[in-house]
Structure 1
Amino acid sequence: MATSGHTTKAPQSAADEGLAADVRAPLDAAITELRTGARAWSLLSLGQRRTLMQRLRVSTGAVAAEWVDTAATSKGLAPGHPLRGEEWLSGPYAALVALDAYADTLGALAAGRSPIEKARLGTAPGGRTVVHTSPLTATDRLLLSGYSTEVWLQPGVTAAEARRTAGLGQREPAASGGVGLVLGAGNITSIPYLDVLYELVAFNRVSILKVNPTQDAMVPIFERALAPLIEPGFLRIVRGGGDVGAYLTQHPSISHVHITGSEATFRAIVWGTGGAATRRRREGRPLLKAPISAELGGVSPIIVVPGSWSRADLRFQAEHIVTMRLHNSGHNCIAGQVVLISADWPQRREFLHELRTAYDRAPSRPVWYPHSQSRLDAARASYPDAAWCGGGTRALVETTETDAADLETTEYFAPVLGVVTLPGTGQEFLDAAVHHANDRLTGTLGANVLIDPVTQAALGDGVEHAIAELRYGTVALNAWTAFGFLTPTATWGAYPGGTLEHAPSGMGVVHNAFLLDGVERTVVRGPFRPFPRSVSSMIGGRALSQGSVLPKPPWFVTSRTGAAVCEGFTRFRIDGDWAKMAVTLMKAFGA
């Protein structure tokens, strides 16, 4: 890293064209200030860094309500809208639990302990080491009853090695990672916040954060929430479009780039555009000189394993799938897009009826993300027989595997849900669905599997082997992979193997509050049934699936009390008031 105290001026390049000197100057100045901040960070002890996380917790809690109101309003959710709860969980809640987890890790390292010294370790198919990453506290067991996460490490990483290497950059806190560029996501408000934290804690890298223009209204809130990082020069936040982003990616003082966005944007950053980009790729000469990590989305499958389901099961799992698609109006990199269902399941028609009903009745909301309407128009053109639900704002496409090309290769990033029928039942169907997801769907970010307890018990180890075979960075069993995003001690990112030439879902991971090395994937497990029906999963005192003492999850788009419960969960993370939490839990049972 350069150490000069003078502003470094980036060389003139194609990225500079159209970027006026009065725009470049403050960007250069911000990077110079960050270079000083990088040196200051390298001098902080682990204990001081832990204290900084606690200060961030206070400043973030102080703006939580304004954060949610600004985010919800920018997405067209008026006060009182039932889906405002999404902004509590995917905004300040996600930030607060991450800060607590990073503080715990820094505290362990400061005391000379491994961050996973107290974590339970196990094994998975192929001899993989498994780190059980949640729940870790009694509070987690109550608020998120029945849900758990575990991180599977890459084959060959032993338990002893996992304990020894956990800590990443904090094992050498004085080694500076320089100044990084974070190109923030435009859909979920906690993403840029969390990406900046991970760069700092995992790699000792201070950041210049360029927010996506869709989140410009959030900048004043980010500035107050992240003031403990901004004041000492560990963070600078800037606005701007693609021209500003292009200038920053080519700046000589940027040591690393992290982006959450589209694969097209990633390719433009790495290789450029037009004929010159084609030549660079052919010759192996990337335009980008700094290393890059990325989270780029993809087409996420929902594998529905046939079994004997009650009518309540059919309805609950239909609402579960609808939530996977309609959360944030479908503007999610992890939104479920393709339901893989058995043609030989006797309950297939009944389930599809429940799915169509839930998809149509989910609360109305704007389709707000830029260019979403053109994506919906493309779906209408590709699938003229699609059912249009929710007042014509969401498409449900039922098709066969031979006619599903667009659904399986195009991330719509809009409320388009496909249903693809495959043959078989039992293990035969599950294996076929896994291969279909691996070979036909674009991306490797997340896959979801729904299976009833009796069928899961009958298949035995076959389910675990299917999870191992799925080439996805997060696999959720009877849960949505977004739960892995929300859990700070889980990891979030593409399945390993992405390259500059081919990275459909990106490269690297984020969150990862235990700072684990050698990560392969996160596995999320949830209850097939909510309380009280979850009791039926206990047969002869033996749990056939994850039990739960909670009713319908508050993040379901069909939850009547979701907004109040999600707000209550977040406020509890801020103040720890159990009396108020008791009221929130009573509201949860009214869902």
Structure 2
Amino acid sequence: MTASEPTIAEPTIAEPNATEPTIAEPTVAEPTGTEGFGTLDGLISELAAGEKRWARTGLSERIALLSAVRRSVAAQAEDWARTAALIKGLSPDSPLVGEEWISGPYPMLTAAATLAESLSRIGRGRSPVAGARFGTAPGGRVTVQVLPHTPYEAVLLHGFRAEVWMPPGVSADTVRSRAGLAELHPRQTQGVGLVLGAGNITSIPPLDVLYELVAHNRVVLLKLNPVLERMLPVYRAALAPLIEHGVLRIVTGDGRVGGYLAHHPGIAHVHITGSAATHDVVVFGAGAEGAERKAAATPLLSKPITSELGGVSPIIVMPGTWSRRDLRYQAEHVATQRLHNGGYNCIAGQVVVLSGDWSQKDAFLAELRAAVRRAPARPAWYPGSDGRVEDAVAAYPGAERLGRGRVLIRVGAGDDPEAIRSTETFAPVLGVIELPGRGAAFLDAAVETVNRDFLGTLGANVIADPRTLRALGTGFRTALARLRYGTIAVNTWTGLGFLTAAAPWGAYPGHTLNDVQSGIGIVHNALLIDSPERTVVSGPFRPFPRSVLHGEFALFPKPPWFVTARSAAMTGRLLTGFAARPSWLRMPRVFASAFRA
């Protein structure tokens, strides 16, 4: 935020035993029969009235509501992280609890702040992307830098950047004039939206709520995934300003509840985060009849649906000349992409694409095995995980069990790669396939392979040392332009794109109900950019201080989201506190903790 931008009220992080404010609690439906559905009908009627109230809610009041949400999220941050850790079976003193801070309250705080800033700019007749750095990408594309977005981010995430690539032919002036989406016409509301919440990352459901309200002008009925039902009191308190304003209701229940709501005449739009199979059940129905409807392209659902559905994310490792420390660090990087949150991420890296001609291939794989083995133990907390692991092993009898339920599948010349590249395992299963070539020839083959053969288009990762990137020159960005993925990460993980409030998040555009792949539409996107094509995030190949010693200007240590980061819990807590109350004086403690990773 520049000095000319308005000041947003700064919340504080509540200590574990702090007295929480009294909050009016909405009715939560847990239907066991048709009588429960009557409760749902009542909540939808309440939201219909809330839509009228939202239409009368001006930009200044919406900004105040977002600031209030920021304060209430900060007040609940401790309970939020603790409850999430309990759901996932993490010990309170485990460094892995840092994941629950960084992927829970932290992105909610940054999203609320950035959305409030965007609305403030619109209210003053400016574009949300006013002042952003514009550039170009191959194919006649305009780019918008979205990370760093504030001076604080430029220091806290030094060496990392993110840019939004627009579709070919869209001008910078068009981007500026259309940024704002529904907030350009705040009185034109879009009905009651249903959000079928994710069950893996705790920030996803409330982030989706914010996007429905602000970007689409829809009031929201949030139906929690049963896996995260214990988060209900936290969500209820954290989102209390929206509940009290009448624009949000939260319900729990099983699949019957979700099905009833999705097809309810009072629901104007459905957004789902989950699997393609769940999406198809909602859209076409279950069983053989649902399959017939899908084949005939005759959906049961007669209303718009957007979705974020995961996929098989590749990790393309470019061959180069790496030091032993490079091999170890990047092996931990790949292990993190697979094992973060236990492997239960829609954006988890699933298949490493290696050059069979890389002289250091075996050394890298040895370090990768070691990194997977030494990652902290955690329970297989997501339902069905063990069965999915066994299915993968059955498909590849030569799979290596690396302890703690983790599996490495090296697809050999006699193996069929189809199973690992076309099934999202949603479990700690990591595949490795090899392609011939070096340099540009290998990169071209890798891009063609993942575009053609891999399920989904949510995210792709590319790891390449600076010398290799220099040798590829402009051809590297040309290759990125050919990668059909919604988020592409270079020397970082696509998860950073998820965490960046101003970055759009979703599948590559163009999917349909009948071939949904990784979904339809985007979320997050706190600068409210209209119809982006993709996000490209990048980071340093080496952590500080080796980054600087090797000519990379990046002052970032081992990232706190690495599964091997020993200080991740404290860093996550401090980052969340910083997001609640940004201050240069609070920054040294964050760095001190991060450098102990």
Q: Which amino acid aligns with 1:130?
A: T
1:55 maps to what in 2? 68
Secondary structure, in 3 states, of the residue corresponding to 1:277? helix
Q: Which amino acid aligns with 1:396?
A: L
Count of matched residue positions in the alignment of Structure 1 and Structure 2: 566
1:548 aligns with 2:554: yes
Q: 1:211 aligns with which of 224, 230, 240?
A: 224
Counterpart Cα distance in 2 of 1:529 and 1:192: 34
Q: Which amino acid aligns with 1:433?
A: A
Cα offset, 1:285, TM superposition: 2.0
> Relative to structure 2, which stretch is displaced further, 571-580 or 23-32?
571-580
1:572 maps to what in 2? 578
Counterpart Cα distance in 1 of 2:550 and 2:147: 21
Secondary structure, in 3 states, of the residue corresponding to 1:341? strand
Matches within 5 A, 1:16-165: 20-165=33-178
2:596 maps to what in 1? 590
Cα offset, 1:144, TM superposition: 1.2
What's the C-alpha RMSD, in Å, of the aligned pairs? 1.2
Q: Which amino acid aligns with 1:251?
A: H
Q: 2:411 aligns with which of 395, 399, 417?
A: 399
Matches within 5 A, 1:117-516: 117-391=130-404, 393-400=405-412, 403-516=416-529
1:521 aligns with 2:527: no
2:27 maps to what in 1? none
Counterpart Cα distance in 1 of 2:293 and 2:560: 48
Counterpart Cα distance in 2 of 1:282 and 1:92: 41
Secondary structure, in 3 states, of the residue corresponding to 1:506? coil
Counterpart Cα distance in 2 of 1:153 and 1:518: 7
> Relative to structure 2, which stretch is displaced further, 59-68 or 266-275?
266-275
Asked whether the 8 Å contact 1:157–1:518 carries over to 2, the reply is no
Q: Which amino acid aligns with 1:557?
A: V
Cα offset, 1:581, TM superposition: 3.4
Cα offset, 1:224, TM superposition: 0.5
Cα offset, 1:287, TM superposition: 0.3
Q: Unaligned stretches of 5+ in structure 2?
A: 1-30
Counterpart Cα distance in 1 of 2:32 and 2:282: 17
Secondary structure, in 3 states, of the residue corresponding to 2:169? coil
Asked whether the 8 Å contact 2:194–2:223 carries over to 1, the reply is yes
Cα offset, 1:274, TM superposition: 2.4
Asked whether the 8 Å contact 1:19–1:243 carries over to 2, the reply is no
Counterpart Cα distance in 1 of 2:582 and 2:294: 53
Counterpart Cα distance in 2 of 1:318 and 1:150: 26
Counterpart Cα distance in 2 of 1:275 and 1:74: 34
Secondary structure, in 3 states, of the residue corresponding to 2:564? coil
1:541 maps to what in 2? none
Q: Which amino acid aligns with 1:551?
A: P
Asked whether the 8 Å contact 1:326–1:335 carries over to 2, the reply is yes
Counterpart Cα distance in 2 of 1:77 and 1:486: 22
1:560 aligns with 2:566: yes
Cα offset, 1:385, TM superposition: 1.5
Secondary structure, in 3 states, of the residue corresponding to 1:507? coil
> Relative to structure 2, which stretch is displaced further, 225-234 or 568-577?
568-577
Q: Which amino acid aligns with 1:458?
A: A
Counterpart Cα distance in 2 of 1:484 and 1:105: 19
Counterpart Cα distance in 1 of 2:294 and 2:99: 40
1:8 maps to what in 2? none
Cα offset, 1:19, TM superposition: 5.9
Counterpart Cα distance in 2 of 1:138 and 1:312: 31
Q: Deviations over 1:304-349 (max 9, x none)?
A: 0001111111111100000000000000000000000001111111
Q: Which amino acid aligns with 2:410?
A: E
TM-score by length of 2: 0.93
Q: Deviations over 1:544-566 (max 9, x none)?
A: x6x31121111100111111111
Q: Deviations over 1:508-532 (max 9, x none)?
A: 0000111111210000011111111
Secondary structure, in 3 states, of the residue corresponding to 2:535? strand
Counterpart Cα distance in 1 of 2:264 and 2:194: 10
Asked whether the 8 Å contact 2:149–2:502 carries over to 1, the reply is no
Cα offset, 1:577, TM superposition: 5.2
Q: Which amino acid aligns with 1:266?
A: H
Identity %: 54
Secondary structure, in 3 states, of the residue corresponding to 2:316? strand
Q: Deviations over 1:195-217 (max 9, x none)?
A: 00000000100010000001111
Secondary structure, in 3 states, of the residue corresponding to 2:549? helix
Cα offset, 1:579, TM superposition: 4.5
Q: Which amino acid aligns with 1:190?
A: S
Q: Which amino acid aligns with 1:340?
A: V
Asked whether the 8 Å contact 1:498–1:507 carries over to 2, the reply is yes
Counterpart Cα distance in 1 of 2:183 and 2:280: 31
Counterpart Cα distance in 2 of 1:563 and 1:59: 21
Cα offset, 1:46, TM superposition: 1.0
Secondary structure, in 3 states, of the residue corresponding to 1:519? coil
1:6 maps to what in 2? none
Asked whether the 8 Å contact 1:572–1:578 carries over to 2, the reply is no
Q: Unaligned stretches of 5+ in structure 1?
A: 1-17, 539-544
TM-score by length of 1: 0.94
Cα offset, 1:25, TM superposition: 1.1
Secondary structure, in 3 states, of the residue corresponding to 1:154? coil
